Structure 1
Amino acid sequence: MIKKIFFLFFLISSFFYAQQTEQEMKNILFDIDFSGAGPKEIEKIDSLIAVCKKDSYNDCVALGYLKIANIYDKMNDTKKSFYYINKVENENLMNSDTDFEVIFYVHLQKSFLYRKLGERVASFKELDEIYDKAMKTGNAYFIYLINRQYADKYIETDSKLSLKYSKIAYKFSKIYRENKGNHYRIDKNRLSNSYKTSAYLGGIYTDLNKLDSARIYIEEAIHNEKKVDDISLKYITSLYAGRYFRVIKNVEQAQYYLWIAKNIAKNYFKSENYQIAVGDELNALYESIGQKDSIGYYSNWLVGIEKVNREQNQTLNDAVDKQNELENSNRKKETKKLFFILSLSIAACLLFIFLFLYYYRKHKSKNLDKIDIPHQPSVDESAFKELIQLAKENNPEFLTRFNEYYPHFSEELLKVFPLKISEIRFCAYIYLNFSTKEIAEYTFTSVRTVQTKKYNLRKKLNIPGDMDIYVWFSKLLK
């Protein structure tokens, strides 16, 4: 019965969303409320993903998976959150034509989850990979969001840097909301996120004991919270307002705001990060006024949350380890299979070459009376082989020799766009028809990094979206 209802819902959804452009479908995804989202919203997103798949809207499918991952993270189901993030890569939804928005959210969501698992190095690496790219987009929403995460990155190690990035986030969140020239689509989820920067900045000033500055931003946050009916914004505002009032010893106000945050975390945000944050604040508040019963209660509450978190993380890590073992096993099997196929291919090639030479010599011996030109090895062919070898070794001399072999390549390329030396070198690899995987292997980088570089080159060189980048380069010198 449930399956029939879901199928009927899917048919109705498919009819309703038919003929929608990909951007319109993405807008529908972004309009689904996040704060109160649960299984019903996930079911709706799944139906949207099915329609996007039908129309080959890969960016829309990827963003749908990432939104589901975000909801599962809020529901404290880290395993399913990782599962949906991995689907973006497993279904090959990212390539050189993928919109930066998808790449941005993949890194951001992975950073959240790695940090939650205590893998700070992996978390920060995800942020580092997209920080410069996000800043170069000029998109106020991306810029404020990545700087907000960078502020968190340094909050425990360098308060000045954390404050610096929080100020940048605050500045660009206001630019996003002002939306001069209507550059941005303002939806409820993004709008509520942008208002959080006031509370975050107030929290940092509170931690730095700059209470006059903290008061300004906390008051602004409380005022802004009333502009959007959003549970997530209310939680963040209440948490940092409670912290500020606790520090200035206004127990009544601190307790008021922290209880609001606690109730929201308990009813809407099952993720332990939300609950631990408010639990720590309540513990500190009751310690400051000596309420032992309350201290004991919240201490036990925190211990319980951390225990559940450890058990969940252990389960997730075990699952990740098993998945890695399975992938390694499959990789070894594939390697053996490829080795066998390669051996057969080489044997077949050698046999073909042998037969070719045999019949060629036989034929040649019959025609010696007509013409007999001795075969001489081509100098260009030898130089080309040497050039390929330098590329495979990632040799510093590669670009110099490449320019000697193709003297007009760099000149023609620079007419299109003033590229850097490193970018010209990367273009040379593409011109030589190396695949993404080969370039990654020879230059000691990841496949994703190569894909991102190709994406950036497309933008700089203005390569049409419907043209293969290799075809474009092959026509450069013609």
Structure 2
Amino acid sequence: MKKLTVLFFLISSFFYSQHTEEELKNLLFDIDFSAAGPKEIEKIDSLITICKKDSYNDCVALGYLKIANIYDKMNDTKKSFYYIDKVEKENLITSDTDFEVIFYLHLQKSFLYRKLGERVASFKQLDEIYDEAMKTDNAYFIYLINRQYADKYVETNKDLSLKYNKIAYKYSRIYRENKGKRYRIDKNRLYNSYKTSAYLGGIYIDLNKLDSAKIYIDEAIQNERKVDDIGLKYITSLYAGRYFRMVNNVEQSQHYLWIAKNIAKNYYKSENYQIGVGDELNALYKSIGQKDSIGYYSNWLVDIEDVNREQNQTLNDTVDKQSELENTKRNKETKGLFFILSASIAVCILFIFLFLYYYRKHKSKNLDKIDVPHQSPVQESIFKEVIQLAKENNPEFLTRFNEYCPRFSEELLKVSPLKISEIRFCAYIYLNFSTKEIAEYTFISVRTVQTKKYNIRKKLNIPGDMDIYVWFSKLLK
């Protein structure tokens, strides 16, 4: 067997080495996902080896992500995480990386975090690529990201979930129609795009709009009969089973849910698939009062969740350990750079000190020529009080500031109808407080201050090439 394996690898190496990176990526996409297992993983590994040999980094990264996806389907979350992590560990993501790789990396991370129950982290991965995916004008990317967004809102906002499902449905049809032959239509993507009908039917079921649900469930059943794909059959059967349960057609509901259950047990070891169909069967038997079946599926769901809990605990430990190792490595690198940075900073400080010393010395020669404005003792006293109130974030700050600069608010409101809170923020800028100081005195983050400055710029139409502090300094002149 070892000799045969070596021989197969040599033959495949010769065959694949004649291909470009794009052709090798297409070979990866052509490997069936729905029924994929160890054999498919071996094939992908051999393709990754060839891609590494030719320094096809995008191809290597996509290979790792496809293996991660297969392990996720097989409910081996630890190995799925391992292959996702390899993409970053081997520095495969650079400024030249194709968006397709970045897109799938974020999707796979989102799936992983969702399994761990870290919904915020999962949604963050989607948010980081949504706008860019929509700009690609690639119907498949747009379909896929909106499908994930639909899942994001399915538990919290059904109407938003419906909105994103409709977008996904629209672009999945555009992808399949492929006018002008814009897209490469491979089997996995094609079959995946057919799932939108079932998903759309599912959200209409959740909204109790059964007439609309029927249209898309019937369409999903017709689509499933057109193509032979396990994944499409599972999704269609699951939502068809749910629909027929809602319309009290027990026989049809049971028929489709058993199909989904057998597929989940034989092809999809991931608990998401099994819990989905288990919940539906449980609900079906509760509706007809079959206590034995209710007990069976309740226990089945408990067993799935126990296994999932153990796996997630192991994975969380792995993730924590990985983070700890990365922190240790980072600390070592930091210590190594500390002495160099310290020396550099010291030189810079010395240079700045000398520059300021000679600059002031030069300026002092012409001091008698400078017209320096003076404030009256009263104004100076008010100014100091205003500064102190600003530093304390005192509610009286704006009132006292308006006494110090009575025309300030009036001039601002001539430009734009600002809110009181925005005028207060503008006062901090007028007093020449830095971003860091404003954040410190008003108890908000530096990022928030930067965002507020950006919004103020837009509202006041401050030119992009003008410093905001300069603009405010000229406001009352």
Q: TM-score, normalised by structure 2?
A: 0.72
| Rounded Cα–Cα distance in structure 2 between residues aligned with 1:22 and 1:114 | 30
Query: Alpha carbon RMSD of aligned pairs, Å?
Result: 2.0
| Rounded Cα–Cα distance in structure 2 between residues aligned with 1:139 and 1:338 | 44
Shift of 1:9: 2.3
Q: 1:92 maps to what in 2?
A: 91
Single out whichever of 92-101 and 190-199 deviates more from structure 2: 92-101
Q: 2:38 maps to what in 1?
A: 39
Deviations 1:368-410 (A, max 9, x none): xxxxxxxx98xxxxxxxxxxxxxxxxxxxxxxxxxxxxxxxxx
Shift of 1:341: 5.5
Q: 1:149 maps to what in 2?
A: 148
Amino acid corresponding to residue 67 of structure 2 in structure 1: I
Shift of 1:324: 1.4
1:208-219 matches, within 5 Å, as: 208-219=207-218
Q: 2:321 maps to what in 1?
A: 322
Amino acid corresponding to residue 228 of structure 2 in structure 1: D
What is the SS of the residue equivalent to 1:36? coil
Q: 1:117 maps to what in 2?
A: 116
> Would you say how many aligned residue pairs link Structure 1 and Structure 2?
354
Contact in 2 for aligned 1:163/1:201 (Cα 8 Å): yes
| Rounded Cα–Cα distance in structure 1 between residues aligned with 2:344 and 2:142 | 51
| Rounded Cα–Cα distance in structure 1 between residues aligned with 2:324 and 2:171 | 44
Shift of 1:343: 6.2
| Rounded Cα–Cα distance in structure 1 between residues aligned with 2:216 and 2:329 | 54
Q: 1:311 maps to what in 2?
A: 310
Shift of 1:19: 2.0
> 1:25 and 2:6 equivalent?
no
Q: 1:302 maps to what in 2?
A: 301
Amino acid corresponding to residue 6 of structure 2 in structure 1: F
Deviations 1:127-185 (A, max 9, x none): 00111111111110000111111110000011110001000100000000000000011
Q: 2:409 maps to what in 1?
A: none
| Rounded Cα–Cα distance in structure 1 between residues aligned with 2:184 and 2:151 | 26
Contact in 2 for aligned 1:10/1:47 (Cα 8 Å): yes
Q: 2:71 maps to what in 1?
A: 72
| Rounded Cα–Cα distance in structure 1 between residues aligned with 2:326 and 2:132 | 31
Shift of 1:191: 0.6
Shift of 1:345: 8.4
Amino acid corresponding to residue 44 of structure 2 in structure 1: I
> 1:206 and 2:205 equivalent?
yes
Deviations 1:250-291 (A, max 9, x none): 000000000000000000000000000000000000000000
What is the SS of the residue equivalent to 2:96? coil
| Rounded Cα–Cα distance in structure 2 between residues aligned with 1:210 and 1:126 | 31
| Rounded Cα–Cα distance in structure 2 between residues aligned with 1:344 and 1:208 | 65
Deviations 1:413-436 (A, max 9, x none): xxxxxxxxxxxxxxxxxxxxxxxx
**Greater Rg over alpha carbons, structure:** 2
| Rounded Cα–Cα distance in structure 1 between residues aligned with 2:34 and 2:234 | 10
For structure 2, the 5+ residue unaligned runs are: 352-357, 360-445, 448-477
| Rounded Cα–Cα distance in structure 2 between residues aligned with 1:214 and 1:143 | 23
> 1:63 and 2:57 equivalent?
no
| Rounded Cα–Cα distance in structure 2 between residues aligned with 1:88 and 1:326 | 17
Amino acid corresponding to residue 173 of structure 1 in structure 2: S
What is the SS of the residue equivalent to 1:288? helix
| Rounded Cα–Cα distance in structure 2 between residues aligned with 1:187 and 1:319 | 35
Amino acid corresponding to residue 250 of structure 2 in structure 1: V
Shift of 1:32: 0.2
1:234-383 matches, within 5 Å, as: 234-340=233-339
| Rounded Cα–Cα distance in structure 2 between residues aligned with 1:231 and 1:346 | 62
Q: 1:183 maps to what in 2?
A: 182
Amino acid corresponding to residue 315 of structure 2 in structure 1: L
Single out whichever of 173-182 and 17-26 deviates more from structure 2: 17-26
Single out whichever of 254-263 and 48-57 deviates more from structure 2: 48-57
Contact in 2 for aligned 1:188/1:228 (Cα 8 Å): no
Shift of 1:81: 0.8
| Rounded Cα–Cα distance in structure 1 between residues aligned with 2:45 and 2:207 | 44
Shift of 1:231: 0.3
Shift of 1:333: 2.2
Amino acid corresponding to residue 15 of structure 1 in structure 2: F
| Rounded Cα–Cα distance in structure 2 between residues aligned with 1:110 and 1:33 | 21
What is the SS of the residue equivalent to 1:270? coil
| Rounded Cα–Cα distance in structure 2 between residues aligned with 1:277 and 1:182 | 37
Q: 2:415 maps to what in 1?
A: none
Summarize the Cα distance change of 1:216–1:320 in structure 2 as closer, same or farther, 3 Å threshold.
Answer: same
| Rounded Cα–Cα distance in structure 2 between residues aligned with 1:34 and 1:248 | 33
Shift of 1:298: 0.2
Contact in 2 for aligned 1:31/1:189 (Cα 8 Å): yes
| Rounded Cα–Cα distance in structure 1 between residues aligned with 2:69 and 2:308 | 17
| Rounded Cα–Cα distance in structure 1 between residues aligned with 2:128 and 2:166 | 21
What is the SS of the residue equivalent to 2:117? coil
What is the SS of the residue equivalent to 1:131? helix
| Rounded Cα–Cα distance in structure 2 between residues aligned with 1:255 and 1:283 | 11
Shift of 1:319: 1.2
| Rounded Cα–Cα distance in structure 1 between residues aligned with 2:99 and 2:72 | 22
Amino acid corresponding to residue 184 of structure 2 in structure 1: R
| Rounded Cα–Cα distance in structure 1 between residues aligned with 2:41 and 2:339 | 45
Q: TM-score, normalised by structure 1?
A: 0.71
Amino acid corresponding to residue 58 of structure 2 in structure 1: D
What is the SS of the residue equivalent to 2:69? helix
> 1:9 and 2:17 equivalent?
no
| Rounded Cα–Cα distance in structure 1 between residues aligned with 2:306 and 2:4 | 39
Shift of 1:90: 1.1
| Rounded Cα–Cα distance in structure 1 between residues aligned with 2:341 and 2:208 | 67
